[in-house]
Structure 1
Amino acid sequence: MSKTGHEGHAHEEGHDHAQVVTASNERRIRFVLIFTASYAIVQAIGGWYSGSLALIADAGHMVSDAAALLLALIAYRIARRAADSQRTYGFHRVRVLAALANGATLLLLVAWIAWEAVQRINAPVEILAGPMLIVAVIGLGVNVAGAWILWSGNKGDSNLRGAFLHVIGDLLGSVGAIAAAIGIMLTGWTILDPILSVLVAGLVVRSAWSLVSDSIRVLLQAVPRGVDAIEAERGLAGVPGIAEAGHFHAWTLTDETSVATVHVSPATGTDPLSLPPLVSAWLKERYAIDHVTVQVDPRGELKSNHE
């Protein structure tokens, strides 16, 4: 970092990294979380009693979605906690760590379901289709109620929207379990149960892998999706008033907030102090980066640093 350069810190919203918290939406998510987690327990017990692996798999799917709801709730709570002198960006990474642990646990659950399904396909077991159908119908009702509660909230809240999509996935799982139970009752084909369990496990593994991969990207401070560091430097170097750009770094702070640092040099006749807001505005428009710290170096210094 040049001792002769100028440093600029640009942020359109000031220095507050907190997300907007809507009390009504938080209540909705909390209510659906309680419903979803409670029914996941009922569904797991019902799956064990009826011998239905599909119900157990769907219980795992509901656990994954309950975890997603819990993470959304954590995001709301974190948004209320102010940063301090030791944690200048606040406590946002707590949610990332929770997501990573949740995703890893769910992947282990999927592995068990897949193994058990293969065993049942090779050696079918008796399925009590009646209790399976009753539990699945109750699950459908719970998911319909949860979807309606979330859908009627603030449509602009990304946490609420994500929770709604998770509940829709649960709803489809319940429809599948109902279809499998009816199919077993009508045909006696118990193989329908492990087949459905594998399909539901596919939904779980998709959500789990997304949690794990996204969490790892954040913890490794990889550039936000859609951002190319080299292209960003080239683009900034072409902005009127900027002669050179380099040392661009960007990373994700929260799901909706990204941070970047960059060095630039002013073109001839350009006031160096005018560059930080110029760079911030360009990165905000091009890559939706919210928080930018700019180091302004003398012309020619960035080239010598790259050599």
Structure 2
Amino acid sequence: MSQSHDHGAHGSSRQRLLVVIAIVLAVFLLEIVGAALSGSLALFADAGHLVSDLVGLVVALVAATVAARPATDRQTFGFRRVEVFGALVNALILIGVAVSVAIGAALRLGGHPEVQGGWMLAIAITGLVGNVAGLLVLRGGAKASINMRGAYLEVLGDTIGSLATIVAAIVIVTTGMEWADSVGSLIIAVLIVPRALSLLREVVRVLSESAPASTDVAEIRKHILGTTGVVDVHDVHVWAITSGAPVFSAHVVVSPKVFAQGRAGALLDELDGCLSAHFDVAHSTFQLEPAEHAAHEGDTHR
């Protein structure tokens, strides 16, 4: 992946995030006013979730800005892993909000809250429109970056929260059962957790330098061994700098003819092209070595 392409992608991410931050801020202010007017815990819960979203989106914006910085002698892969830390913060914020909302809703279930269903419904519908707009803005970048995916999940959580609040408001307006507000808040909390945990698992996978879930290491070995001139492959390592940026390294044992005929450069190009085309590996490193060198590298190599 070229550096100019990286900078263009991060520039696009920053623009998307700035637009969504403006949308979320407007919806937050609207829901705070609406919650005060209606007495709805669900709206307060959703507004609280929006506060976490604003923090998370600002973190994502800072991460996207820092990640666009070029590599240095100290940060040889650049600063793209900052995106992963941004996603980690987002995941922890989501979990914290879910727990606090669930506790508040559970405590309120035993009481007799007064909720103005009409106000609650009107504000929730307006919030839903804003959340859907935010999702449409972020959707294009959610697949390419774990940081943007965290931001997308934040807004998706708001969208689900708005839907739950709308349903609760309709129940209150049509039946007068005001406890539906607390139930709606609990639903919002329950729906937030699985998405937060999913994002957290992906963050842990990257930070622990596990092979990306979509990468089949055995299949990569098979492709390398099928290349003309390759005798064996060992010391295979696959990890990711950030989501969507897999890195690969391996020691490749080649036949004597490869060196004798001066084909080492061509073989490297072929191997690099294979990983890029078939496995979408952004950065690959191969050490070509003759069999006699591989024989004394030790038992730790495989």
CA drift of 1:215 comes to: 1.5
* 1:242 paired residue among 216, 223, 230: 230
Secondary structure of 2:74 counterpart: coil
Change (3 A) 1:220 1:230: same
Letter matched to residue 190 of structure 1? E
Change (3 A) 1:267 1:122: farther
Q: Give the aligned partner of residue 283 of structure 2.
A: 291
Q: Give the aligned partner of residue 96 of structure 1.
A: 84
Q: Aligned residue pairs: how many? A: 293
Secondary structure of 2:178 counterpart: coil
Separation in 2 of the partners of 1:79 and 1:246? 32
CA contact (8 A) 1:106 1:205 kept: yes
Q: Give the aligned partner of residue 275 of structure 1.
A: 267
CA contact (8 A) 1:221 1:252 kept: yes
CA drift of 1:294 comes to: 0.8
Q: Give the aligned partner of residue 99 of structure 2.
A: 111
CA contact (8 A) 2:233 2:251 kept: yes
Where do 1:167-178 residues align within 5 Å? 167=155, 170-178=158-166
Letter matched to residue 93 of structure 1? R
* 273-282 or 154-163, larger mean C-alpha shift: 154-163
CA contact (8 A) 1:64 1:208 kept: no
Change (3 A) 1:124 1:294: farther
Separation in 1 of the partners of 2:204 and 2:21? 25
CA drift of 1:99 comes to: 1.9
Q: Give the aligned partner of residue 137 of structure 1.
A: 125
CA drift of 1:300 comes to: 5.5
* 238-247 or 18-27, larger mean C-alpha shift: 18-27
* 98-107 or 37-46, larger mean C-alpha shift: 37-46
CA contact (8 A) 1:183 1:192 kept: yes
Change (3 A) 1:147 1:295: closer
Q: Give the aligned partner of residue 221 of structure 2.
A: 233
Q: Give the aligned partner of residue 19 of structure 2.
A: 31
C-alpha deviations, 1:230-271, integer Å up to 9, x for none? 443344223332110111111111222111111111135233
* 274-283 or 23-32, larger mean C-alpha shift: 23-32
Separation in 2 of the partners of 1:235 and 1:293? 15
Separation in 2 of the partners of 1:136 and 1:64? 18
Where do 1:1-307 residues align within 5 Å? 13=1, 18-21=6-9, 26-40=14-28, 42-44=30-32, 46-47=34-35, 50-63=38-51, 65-66=53-54, 69-70=57-58, 73-74=61-62, 76-147=64-135, 150=137, 158=144, 167=155, 170-270=158-258, 271-299=263-291, 301-302=293-294, 305-306=298-299
Separation in 2 of the partners of 1:300 and 1:48? 77
Secondary structure of 1:18 counterpart: helix
TM-score, normalised via structure 1 length: 0.78
Q: Which has the higher contact order (CA 8 A, sep 6+)?
A: 1
Separation in 1 of the partners of 2:162 and 2:238? 41
TM-score, normalised via structure 2 length: 0.79
CA contact (8 A) 2:157 2:192 kept: no
CA contact (8 A) 2:94 2:154 kept: no
Change (3 A) 1:157 1:93: closer
Q: Which runs of 5+ in 1 are unaligned?
A: 1-12
CA contact (8 A) 1:176 1:196 kept: yes
Secondary structure of 1:126 counterpart: coil
CA drift of 1:164 comes to: 6.4
Higher helix proportion: 2
Q: Which runs of 5+ in 2 are unaligned?
A: none
Q: Superposition RMSD on alpha carbons, in Å? A: 3.4
